[in-house]
Chain A
Amino acid sequence: DTGVSQDPRHKITKRGQNVTFRCDPISEHNRLYWYRQTLGQGPEFLTYFQNEAQLEKSRLLSDRFSAERPKGSFSTLEIQRTEQGDSAMYLCASSNRDSLNTEAFFGQGTRLTVV
């Protein structure tokens, strides 16, 4: 399977715990995005990488959130001291940088529930 893969698919954690999610983009794609989606809303931008460089972070991303893409391939998103408001679907997407009209491919997401 050469699509975007995310791990884990589901995560239940207690408030205050740290969690880390992984995204493996399509191998030739150098753009990688993290989005968050809550029920009834569209995906909300969190952060963006071009290769290993993190080029933008949303103002919505508090300092409890950090993302890395150390070798320009897979990426991790860590949430520290989770809060109930962090419960959401976390989506990763990748695309090729060559054209603005290039489709972004999404992974199936990691559903986080903070109890």
Chain B
Amino acid sequence: RKEVEQDPGPFNVPEGATVAFNCTYSNSASQSFFWYRQDCRKEPKLLMSVYSSGNEDGRFTAQLNRASQYISLLIRDSKLSDSATYLCVVILPSGSARQLTFGSGTQLTVLP
């Protein structure tokens, strides 16, 4: 079983739609969680951290469910510029130098 699993998609949605991605992680002691965005043939960039209480940044909302070991990302009113691959990232327990563990990514295409 992979340590971080995501639905690869692709998700093709019209402009203005709301889309949600989920990610599950296998290590219950994982400490920190993030969503990164990666545009085609570019490097990954931090989109947002995910906090236990949930957090929102404009049209983006991230949620963490530690009991079920999943993380979600909700994008409201999607824009063409949101088209990218969204990577779920988990930091493993303290003591492991393998700090950032990535999911395979979920591909989103927002259609005009």
Contacts and interface: CB of A to CB of B under 8 A. Distances in A.
B42 A42 contact: no
* Best-surrounded residue of B31, B45, B102 (most CB of chain A within 10 A): B102
A42 B94 CA distance: 22
Nearest to B50: A101
B32 A101 contact: yes
A88 interface: no
Nearest to A111: B41
Nearest to B8: A40
A108 B39 CA distance: 11
Interface residues of B, number: 25
A44 B103 CA distance: 9
Interface stretch (A11-19, A48-56, A71-79): A48-56
A46 to B, nearest CB: 10
B32 to A, nearest CB: 5
B104 interface: yes
Contacts, number: 57
B102 A50 contact: no
A58 interface: yes
Given A100-B32, A101-B32, A42 B43 contact: no
Contacts of B49: 101
A104 interface: yes
B91 to A, nearest CB: 6
A91 B100 CA distance: 13
Interface string A30-47: 010101000011111100
A31 B102 contact: no
Interface of B: 4, 6, 8, 31-32, 34, 42-46, 49, 87, 91, 94, 96-105
Interface of A: 31, 33, 35, 40-45, 48, 50, 55-56, 58, 91, 93, 95, 100-101, 103-104, 106-109
13 contacts: A35-B100, A42-B4, A42-B87, A43-B102, A45-B101, A48-B99, A50-B97, A55-B97, A56-B97, A91-B44, A104-B46, A107-B43, A109-B43
The 10 closest A-B pairs by CB, nearest first: A42-B102, A56-B97, A106-B43, A55-B97, A48-B97, A103-B46, A100-B32, A42-B104, A43-B102, A42-B105
